[in-house]
Amino acid sequence: LYVHNILSQSDALMCAYKIDTKEVITDTLDSAEFVNIVVKPLRARVRPFNIRISTAFIRDLKDRVQRPIVVLPTVQFRSLTERFVEVFKEQVALNPSVTEIAAGDGGDNCLACLQARPDVKLVKYCLDVDAVTGAPLPASECCQPCACRPLWCVECLATWFASRQQHYERDSWLSKKTTCPMCRALFCVRDVCYLENRTRTDAEAPSLQQES
């Protein structure tokens, strides 16, 4: 059931008061967040109503309306990369984790931000098959083993991953691949494993049993 609320722009105030985020992991980044806007009529006897729009289209809405949209301080519009980093981290949390001994010495701080400790390592778990047909991928598209010790925090690695993708393919970034910043081994998100010694959540998978 749909309801149409019609109001002249000159008779209304618009206020963005909340952002909703999808809790499921999808490749569609543009639809991951929605902003809730209350439309307050200036005339009496007209009830206010809400509209909900993807954050990807908020700029278009601002360009089309005559009055400015008031944005409350609690409403923070995140960039495409920032939203991708969160989705990337959630997916990595579903992968197996790797023990510190198997990962090797992680060094001091992340080479990119120089603040966080390295907390991920690339371990090949990709099945190297087409996600749609299930057919084996050609050798040039297969993920490769990475021998680098842990050097990056997950947020910086996710940012690197996003920076190597094409913007027009943003709806499928999570299924794409890129190369290790150091050795250039090809990897996908399935190959990114948290270190076992980091602070873990209940959603993370159990550690791998590495044989010596």
3-state SS track over the chain: CCCCCCCCHHHEEEEEEEEEECCCCCCCCCCCEEEEEEEEECCCCCCCEEEEEEHHHHHHHHHHCCCCEEECCCCCCCCHHHHHHHHHHHHHCCCCEECHHHHCCCCCCCCCCCCCCCCEEECCCCCCECCCCCCECCHHHCCCCCCCCCCCCHHHHHHHHHHCCCHHHHHHHHHCEEECCCCCCEEEHHHEEEECCCCCCCCCCCECCCCC
Is residue 51 domain-resident? yes
Q: Say whether both 190 and 91 belong to one domain.
A: yes
Domain-located, residue 212: no
Confidence (pLDDT) at 208: 42
Together in a domain, 87 and 65: no
Q: Is residue 118 located within the same domain as residue 180?
A: yes
pLDDT digits (tens, 9 = 90+) for 22-38: 644 445 454 467 889 99
Residues 63 and 89 in one domain: no
Dist. CA 166–CA 59, nearest whole Å: 21
Residue 203 lies in a domain: no
Number of domains in the chain: 2
- Check pLDDT > 50 for residue 111: yes
The per-residue pLDDT for range 40-59, each reduced to its tens digit, is 998 888 889 999 888 878 88
Q: Calculate what percentage of the chain has a pLDDT beyond 70.
A: 83
Could you tell me if 61 and 92 lie in one domain?
Answer: no
Are 187 and 126 in the same domain? yes
Q: What is the pLDDT of residue 83?
A: 83
* Domain extent at residue 37: 9-71
For the stretch 152-191, pLDDT in tens is 999 999 999 999 998 878 778 888 999 999 999 999 999 9
Residue 160 lies in a domain: yes
Residues 117 and 160 in one domain: yes
d(CA 192, CA 188): 7
Which of 17, 49, 71 is a domain's end point?
A: 71
Instruction: Please give the model's pTM, rounded to 2 decimal places.
Output: 0.64
Q: Which one is predicted more confidently, 201 or 20?
A: 20
Q: Are residues 118 and 174 in the same domain?
A: yes
Nearest to 180 by CA among 123, 100, 135, 104: 123
At 119, is the pLDDT very low, low, confident or very high (cuts 50, 70, 90)? very high
Please tell me whether residues 62 and 86 are part of one structural domain. no
Do residue 181 and residue 96 come from a single domain?
yes
Specify if 207 maps to a domain.
no
- The rounded mean pLDDT for the chain is 82
Tell me, yes or no, whether 144 lies in a domain.
yes
Given a cut of 50, whether residue 212 has pLDDT beyond it is no
pLDDT digits (tens, 9 = 90+) for 61-106: 888 888 889 988 888 777 788 888 989 999 999 999 988 655 555 5
